[in-house]
Amino acid sequence: MTEAAVPDAIAERLTPFPTDHFLSATDLNPPAAHALLDLADAFAEHNRQTSSRPLDLMAGRTVVNLFFENSTRTSSSFEIAAKRLGADVVTMPVQASSVAKGETLIDTAVTLNAMAPEILVVRHGASGAAHLLSQKVGCAVVNAGDGRHQHPTQALLDALTIRRTFGDVGGLTVAICGDVAHSRVARSNIALLSMLGARVRLVGPPTLIPSAAARWGCEVFHHMREGLAGADVVMMLRLQLERMEGALIPSTREYFRFWGLDREKLAWAAPGAKVMHPGPMNRGVEIDSDVADDLTVSLIQQQVEMGVAARMAVLAALTERRHGGGR
């Protein structure tokens, strides 16, 4: 398929990524974050044109998706984003690859690196895995989630969704609710949303809010009613049972009663409050379907749509950093 020329609205906003890799939301600073959001906005509009052909921003370049943990939306979102930029994409089915034969993370990455990809997108269960890889390869590394540590493109797509809905992130009160302890989404969002001027609250039972949270500059609440009072955005987190050691909650039924977002609890938030969730959702555990599927309050589908635009912005800006105008 022939690639399309880059529309002016995108070309004007394309600036180099501030760092060689995107490993953490803290790699950004306020001007860089706003520049990426502006670029992502332009991609979002472009993506809505049904006839859009792939752009030539990454033509002839390869993006490798390396997912050691299961993923539906993040891996497909990166794949679509890279294809829309004209890149060739290889998604490694890690279960069926040499990894299943015991090849280590580093061996796998070094092997893939020898095939000279432009960007390696990595998800791994160990915190710090993407950082480790970035020191071993010659391409740019994008962290698509490392353990409970960081998931920076999720924070970017969440900020994009919030900015498009409210016009600005600054000045909003965002309540991040539930299993903060095991959530890389929470850690990345705390960093980016605070950087953009939002007031971030953490709301959950003491067993699911890490004690370090006091140092993160967020207000902490152990009751939904108090935590949601006046919140403009209610961001629910998945209860990450696979990362829990020991019983941190009595039962999922009881969890829903106290912490699950339903209409009654949502009414405690500010008038016009919006609901977010990174997916996958445990319906009836941390969120009621009635709220999740109500398009007048739920931004969950928009988050998925904005995921593609935000990842296009990251991939394009990293390529711009590596090659400048010399595409």
Cis peptide before 271 (omega within 30 of 0): no
Nearer to ligand NCD, 6 or 235 (CB): 235
Q: How far is the CB of 75 from ligand NCD (least distance, A)?
A: 9
Q: Which two tokens stand for residue 68?
A: 């050691």
d(CA 273, CA 232): 5
**Cβ contact 101:90 at 8 Å:** no
Q: Is 96 exposed, middle or buried (0-12, 13-18, 19+ CB in 10 A)?
A: exposed
Q: Under the criterion CB under 6 A, does residue 151 sit at the interface with ligand NCD? A: yes
- Among the listed residues 6, 37, 180, 185, the single contact to ligand NCD using CB under 6 A: 185
H/E/C letters for each residue in 74-119? HHHHHHHHHHHCCCEEEEECHHHCHHHHCCCHHHHHHHHHCCCCCE
Pattern 63-92, ligand NCD, x by CB under 6 A: ----------xx------------------
The DSSP symbol for 150 reads B
d(CA 51, CA 67): 30
Q: Under the criterion CB under 6 A, does residue 265 sit at the interface with ligand NCD? A: no
Residue closest to 279 by CA, chosen among 78, 127, 94, 71: 71
Nearer to ligand NCD, 145 or 205 (CB): 145
- Among the listed residues 154, 298, 302, 319, the single contact to ligand NCD using CB under 6 A: 154
Q: How far is the CB of 189 from ligand NCD (least distance, A)?
A: 11
Q: Under the criterion CB under 6 A, does residue 128 sit at the interface with ligand NCD? A: no
Q: Under the criterion CB under 6 A, does residue 238 sit at the interface with ligand NCD? A: yes
Q: Under the criterion CB under 6 A, does residue 277 sit at the interface with ligand NCD? A: no
Amino acid 312 reads: M
Cβ count within 10 A of residue 61: 21
Nearer to ligand NCD, 35 or 36 (CB): 36
Nearer to ligand NCD, 113 or 127 (CB): 127
Q: Under the criterion CB under 6 A, does residue 279 sit at the interface with ligand NCD? A: yes
Q: Under the criterion CB under 6 A, does residue 117 sit at the interface with ligand NCD? A: no
Q: Under the criterion CB under 6 A, does residue 181 sit at the interface with ligand NCD? A: no
d(CA 266, CA 32): 33
Nearer to ligand NCD, 4 or 281 (CB): 281
The DSSP symbol for 279 reads S
Q: Under the criterion CB under 6 A, does residue 159 sit at the interface with ligand NCD? A: no
- Among the listed residues 155, 162, 278, 306, the single contact to ligand NCD using CB under 6 A: 278
Nearer to ligand NCD, 79 or 86 (CB): 79
Q: Which two tokens stand for residue 252?
A: 């999922």
Residues that bind ligand NCD (CB under 6 A): 73-74, 145, 151, 154, 184-185, 238, 240, 278-279
